[in-house]
Amino acid sequence: MGVRFTVLGPVRLSAADRPSPALAPRHRAVLAYLLLHAGTGVRADRLVDAVWGAAPPDTARAQIQTAVSAIRRALRAIGAPAILTTGPAGYAILPEPGQLDLELFTGGVAAAAALAATGEREKAARELRTALSLWRGEAFADLTAHFVTDARALLADRRLTAVERLAELDLTLGRPDDLIDELTELCARHPLRERPLELLMTALYRTGRHAEALTRYDAARRRFADELGLDLTPELTELHARILRHDVEPAPATRLHLPRSLPYAVGDFTGRRAETQRVLDLAADRAGTVVISAIDGMPGVGKTALAVHVAHTLAGQYPDGQLFCDLHGFTPGRAPLGSNEALHRLLRALGVHEETIPAEQEERSALWRSSVAGRRLLILLDNAADAAQVRPLIPGVPGSLVLITSRRRLTTLDGATSLALDVLMPAAARTLFTAAAGPAARAEPEAVEEVLRLCGYLPLAVRIAAGRVGHGARPVARLATALAAEHDRLAELAVDDRDVAAAFALSHDALRPAERRLFSLLGLLPGTDVDPHAAAALIGLTPEATERLLRGLRDAHLLTAGPGDRYGFHDLLRLYAADRAAALPEPDRRAALDRLTDHCLQVTVAAVAAAGLDTPASRHPVPGAARPGTLTFAGPAEALAWLDAERANLITLAGRAGPEFGYLLATALSGYLDVRAHHRESLVLYDQVRRIVADPVRRADLLRFQASAHNRLAEYDQALDLAHRALEAHRDAGDAAGQAGALNQIGMIHTQRGELRQAVDSLRAAMELDAGGPTLINLAIGYARLGDYEAAARHYTAARAAGRQVCDRYVESRALVNLGTIHQHQARPAEATLAFRQAIDLERSGANRQPDGNTLANLGEAYRRTAEYDLAAETFHRAIDLHRDSGNRVAEGFALKCLGQVYHHVGREQCAIDHQQRALAIAREAGARILEGAALTSLGEATLALGRPASAVGHYEAALRIANDSGDLYTQGRSHEGLGLARRALGERDAAAAHLGAALRLYTRLGQPLADALRARLDALAAH
């Protein structure tokens, strides 16, 4: 196919056998930035910054999406659609080897450096000429995007460095005459760059033009002094002195007879493009100083492999030698190499005679600094224990590059630029596994993906896993099955001298005792992350003291820093910590878990209270007082953030702890899980706790909670079954309050299904057991849905009085809100608005001082019904903001739907559709089937108003399917009515009449006032 991408000149994509598609300038800018970071995910916000900088237009993200779509079309046109991918890390472009000119240039320069290092200078020169021939002008020549200036300057510097290196090679090959014109032009274009001048002076001297070489030096010295106030480099000064003495070396190649002690580069090294480029950029940007790059990361992440790869890539830029020293900071059976011994090895590698190396470290360090002064050396210090070990080994003068690898963050190493290495991207891990495992990997792609996931994309684990299936040793799927068993996974990841657990053990054993103890206790955690307060409960220390230990584990790369103040585990390290926890004495484990569960329960109750979420936990209060230092919350947002972050951990912990803790935690979380629409997760929680609880009343409570979750998901058959089982269990236990709760639940489910007579019967039975406000309200809802508004109003009024009697503002305000809806149905808008305002005043008098979002939404609906659309829109907006602050996604979705209906009434149909689609997205994300059906019917209404009846049919049919599945008779009626109107607009009279007839039958069955209006529509249809 011959696909080519070019950025070293005008930005283009082309294919040899297909027409080359043209891209607009903005689209080329996005393509160029993706190519500049080829193989790395780039988020949309980063692309916005790259293209526009600090002042992007409002449409920036949309323009990025348009550009990506255009690039995809262009790639499809040349038959290469798979090159541009989208994943969790963003957009990534993945050209094949040889397709990107920048990659070819970089590879050619690296190959030339490797050839020069082995003395093959003629081949090295040819490689450099080929690499330089790829340039067709300046990089990104036809672009003006924000990122271009810096990127162009960086690439121009790399090009210039390659030109200088080629000139140096030509000098060593005895071609000074051929270089003088080129070097003269280079010096003119870069008058403040010293390397071209050094090469030109050498070429002039070797062609017998000694005086001209000296004149060039004098002119440069004056220029540097006048323009910069600086002296020339020691290298130029020394060259000037040698020219005066007629003592210039025959060729710079004599400098190549210095150490080349780098380990061999791994043949299947893969990925790490961004990390490699960062070190290359660092070396290029700070070429006049000692550059220190400290590469750190967890055991087995590939620190040494990356450092060696980078060192070989840069070797040609450090012609005075490349030194490697293993400091044995984490080597099995060996103590870390002392700084004094490391200095001795480095000096010997430089050729310093044994007898001249002093014994004292201070003197050795001084000799080391003087020995490397004036040289361009690349020094790789591998496997450092800490900063103190490395500090005496850093050169004291400019010119050299020091690469350091360590399992610990070397935060106290002055001047060092840290590069924390993460695990491989999935694509790079796949490439590594396939290269190591061979054909077996290509035959089982799905099993390979599972193996990589279970290895956590850790390079060491990936290599070991590949070794277990290489050469047909065993099927990949069988290895995936073995790795899936957590208790065996680390044992599976050990082959010969490679062992993931052993690599972890080296880091673990180097910890301080308190850090080791905390790491082991963290193995008891139910999830993969923790905050300092929960960790403090585990170890029994203060949060402040515990956080210092957590930072130590993070610096040792045994934990990762997560969002906020949370710390997490890599999956394999979590398993290793669990093994360490299992080795602790049982009393220690039990005491730590008791402290953790107590902490989690107390903080959960505090968070639910701070968030203002209704919870039945008050029926079973949490025993005991909060521990000193227990986490507290400044307000609802902070409390919700904690609950969101801890949700998965708390649910898992509830199932593992004892029945008392599990039950209390489940009840404490129930209101939060309901409001945040985590219904599926709540079902998991209630089910696993019910399995460990023996008390029949508590088991019945949990059945009732499960019924409520299924009801929210519009899974009414399951909900009714569970609610009836809960009722029987409460009845058997003689629990009157529980029976009332179950009957209430049954009544609510029947109401949602539109089975209003059954609902009222159930709620009347609940009234006989508990005539409290909530039961009165639910019964009133049943009467309202039946169209018996007088009975509904009586029960709402009674509920309001019951709430006032026990000082329950929530019941009183809810009764007022529902009473307002009755006034709306009775065409009494002033009384409805008054009831809603009274409810808002009541809510503002409470501790929260905020109206309830649902109350505001009802007030907005009152304004909508009286055609006060501006007030309605403003009120719905306030309700949406409140629901967002409280995290009530489903209520936010209903408010968005209602706001969309306002826009429909004022003829802004596109705005109406936008809001219904947002409501629909929330419904599907939260699994809220009732909201989904309501949003779809309103979406059909707005689409039909736009004159698109065919689209409306699709929305109404989707709503009808949901309503049929859930047994929601009211939404079935609305859907049939909408389908009838849409079919009539399409001229399908028979289908329209059938749907409208079905709607009329449902409305009549439900006692809905809508039946009269619909009957009139049917009569009109029949008349025409």
Round to whole Å and give the CA distance between 918 and 536: 42
Q: 70 and 77 in contact (C-beta within 8 Å)?
A: no
3-state DSSP assignment of residue 126: helix
Q: Which of these ranges, 164-168, 589-593, 686-690, has the smallest mean pLDDT?
A: 164-168
Do residues 275 and 419 lie in contact, with contact meaning Cβ atoms separated by under 8 Å? Answer: yes
Contact 608, 668 (CB under 8 A): yes
Locate 830 and state its tokens: 């002033």
Helix axes of 176-189 and 148-172: crossing angle, nearest 10 degrees? 160
Phi (first) and psi of residue 505, to 5 degrees = -60, -35
| pLDDT for residue 957 | 94
Helix, strand, or coil here: 260? strand
What CA–CA distance (Å, rounded) separates 121 from 166?
10
> Which two three-digit tokens encode residue 294?
């400290």
Comparing CA positions, the residue from 402, 378, 385 lying closest to residue 338 is 385
Is 535 a residue whose pLDDT tops 80? Answer: yes
Residue 937 is predicted with a pLDDT of 93
pLDDT of 910 > 60? The answer is yes
Q: What is the pLDDT of residue 201?
A: 87
* Per-residue confidence band for 77, with pLDDT thresholds at 50, 70 and 90: confident
Helix axes 25-36, 44-52, angle to 10 degrees: 120
Residue 699: closest CA among 675, 729, 728, 656: 729
Reply yes or no on whether the pLDDT at 615 is more than 60.
Answer: no
| pLDDT at position 624 over 60 | no
The sign one gets for the Cα dihedral 456, 458, 459, 460 is: negative
DSSP structural state of residue 694: -
Is the per-residue pLDDT at 59 higher than 80? yes
Question: Across residues 346-375, what is the average pLDDT?
Answer: 80
Distance CA 980, CA 183 (A): 84
Strand, helix or coil for residue 723: helix
Q: Where are the alpha helices (DSSP H) in 657-715?
A: 659-675, 679-692, 696-712
**Tokens coding 82:** 């798979």
| 850-868 per-position pLDDT tens digit | 677 778 888 888 888 888 8
Of 105, 112, 92, the residue nearest 47 (C-alpha):
92
Name, in order, each residue with C-beta under 8 angstroms of 462's C-beta and a sequence gap of 6 or more.
Answer: 424, 429, 432, 433, 436, 452, 455
Alpha-carbon span 922 to 307, nearest angstrom: 47
Q: What is the pLDDT of residue 258?
A: 61
| Bridge partner residues of 495 (DSSP) | 498
CA 70 to CA 22: how far, in whole Å?
Answer: 10
Q: How far apart are CA 538 and CA 184, in angstroms?
A: 71
pLDDT at 38 over 70: yes
Q: What does the pLDDT read at residue 257?
A: 37
> What angle do helix axes 773-786 and 809-825 make, rounded to 10 degrees?
10
Mean of the pLDDT values across residues 194-214? 84
**What is the average per-residue pLDDT within 620-631?**
56
Q: Name the token pair of 10.
A: 């005008």
Give which of 189, 169, 27, 12 is closest to 102, Cα–Cα. Answer: 12
pLDDT digits (tens, 9 = 90+) for 115-149: 776 667 888 888 888 999 999 999 999 998 988 88
Provide Rg for the chain, Cα atoms. Answer: 37
Q: Where are the beta strands (DSSP E) in 18-118?
A: 84-87, 90-93
Amino acid at 884: R
How many other C-beta atoms are found inside a 10 Å radius of the C-beta of residue 614?
A: 13
CB 284 within 8 A of CB 401: no
Question: Would you call 183 helix, strand, or coil by DSSP?
Answer: helix
d(CA 940, CA 950): 10
Nearest to 670 by CA among 636, 718, 712: 712
**777-817 per-position pLDDT tens digit:** 777 677 766 667 777 777 777 767 776 776 767 667 777 77
- What pLDDT, on a 0 to 100 scale, did the predictor assign at position 619? 47
Confidence of residue 19 (pLDDT cuts 50, 70, 90): low
> What is the per-residue pLDDT across 876-901, written as a single tens digit (0 to 9) for each?
898 888 888 777 888 889 899 989 98
How far apart CA 388 and CA 405 sit, in angstroms, is 14
Tell me how far apart the alpha carbons of residues 118 and 467 are, in angstroms, rounded to a whole number: 32
Distance CA 762, CA 755 (A): 11
Smallest CA-to-CA distance from 999 within 973, 964, 1023, 979 is with: 973
Higher-confidence residue: 822 or 355? 822
**Average pLDDT of the residues of the chain:** 84
CB 791 within 8 A of CB 764: no
d(CA 437, CA 453): 16
Look up the pTM and report it. 0.62
In the prediction, which pLDDT does 850 show?
63
Give the pLDDT of residue 810.
Answer: 67
945: number of Cβ within 10 Å? 15
Question: 40-54, 248-262, 464-478, 758-772 — which one is most confidently predicted on average?
Answer: 40-54
* Separation in Å, CA 107 to CA 121, 424, 857, 965: 17, 21, 63, 60
The residue behind tokens 């190499």 is 337
Lowest mean pLDDT among 72-76, 630-634, 717-721, 979-983: 630-634
Strand partners, 324: 380
Distance of CA 892 to the CA centre of its chain: 25
Q: What is the largest CA-CA distance in the chain?
A: 117
Q: Are 854 and 840 in contact (CB under 8 A)?
A: no
pLDDT at 253: 36
> What is the enclosing helix (H) or strand (E) of 412?
none
Cα separation, 614 vs 594, in Å, equals: 27
**Residue 541 backbone phi and psi in degrees, to 5:** -115, 175
